[in-house]
Amino acid sequence: MEGHRGVIFNIQRFSLHDGPGIRTTVFLKGCPLRCPWCHNPESQSRLPELMYWESRCSGCGACVPACSRGALRLQDGRPVLSSGQCAACGDCVKSCPAGARGISGRTVTPHEVLAEVLGDTVFYDQSGGGVTFSGGEPLAQPEFLEETLRLCKDAGLSTVVDTCGFAHWDVLERIAPLVDLFLYDVKLMDDAAHMESVGVSNKIILDNLRRLASAGSKVTARLPVIPGVNDGMANIQKTGEYLSSVGVRRVTLLPYHDLGKEKYVRLGREYPLEDMASLPDESIERIYHTLRGFGLQVDVSGQS
């Protein structure tokens, strides 16, 4: 039985911030949202993408003739890619002795994922950890996600799904019994602002959250705090109101960081938030207290 294949871009062991305990996070590739602060830009497209680590490159030029489409040329001792011509076939990756090139995105079966994830079982048992599906947007590959979740559950693993919530309700409804905890992103309460920031309406997202919570699923909301985008008091107030009204009890703040910046470079893309101001500590503190005012249990990622 082959099952539905999925596209993932990473399996990360020893993840400490994607649910309880020591976890392995499976990152599914492809996302319906386009958040400019996204720290995993390689997660956005469903298609395989070429990544290039300039610091590892020895400038040997082996990749140039390896590309059958002529998408590469050597300039100042460094390979330069004409991205329009690249089909992410991986021929140049195989040719690179330094491991400076890689393809983000591989096609896998649910059984293959399970086999990799089981490697750290003893650490899950010990720590109350397990497997987390993140992305990208895991719900964007519903059949693959469902099958993999089922295999993981059958193997006795704890499961977490980290989602933006932008999916048909029946997808969530189908997987909910297989998920021990949802980490559910809530970005902006104002629909127009949401639309403008990330490219889709928040209606479905908020609606799904309400239904999921009322159906009895365990949900922790996650609020990426982006300076100038959603850290204003009005938005925080509304977020608190909404979460408490639909019965969500816990929220984790994810303060903005630019650690993903390097990845944009590797993909040959511009970083969309080049001039973003850093987030003042007071701001997080203010948000923390405001949300606590709604009776929510608030955690800040990376702090205890």
Provide the binding-site residues for other proteins, judged by CB under 8 A. Answer: 12-17, 21-22, 25, 58, 60, 62, 97-99, 119-120, 122-123, 125-127, 129, 302-304
DSSP H helices, the chain, are 63-66, 91-95, 110-117, 121-127, 142-154, 169-175, 191-198, 203-214, 233-246, 261-266, 281-292
CB of 266 to other proteins, least distance (A): 15
Q: Is residue 170 within 8 Å of 142, Cβ to Cβ?
A: no
152/209 with CB nearer other proteins: 152
43/202 with CB nearer other proteins: 43
Closest CA to 25 of 183, 171, 143, 155: 183
12/245 with CB nearer other proteins: 12
CB of 279 to other proteins, least distance (A): 17
68/126 with CB nearer other proteins: 126
59/228 with CB nearer other proteins: 59
123/242 with CB nearer other proteins: 123
What span, in angstroms and rounded, lies between the C-alpha atoms of 47 and 156?
Answer: 32
Write out the H or E segment, with its range, that includes residue 253.
Answer: strand 250-255
CB of 208 to other proteins, least distance (A): 26
CB of 237 to other proteins, least distance (A): 28
What span, in angstroms and rounded, lies between the C-alpha atoms of 117 and 296?
Answer: 32
Q: 7: which 2 tokens? A: 């596209």
172-185: b (≥16 Cβ within 10 Å) or e? beebbebbbbbbbb
- Backbone dihedral region of 147: left (phi > 0), alpha (psi from -120 to 50 degrees) or beta? alpha
CB of 118 to other proteins, least distance (A): 11
CB of 295 to other proteins, least distance (A): 22
What span, in angstroms and rounded, lies between the C-alpha atoms of 153 and 80?
Answer: 45
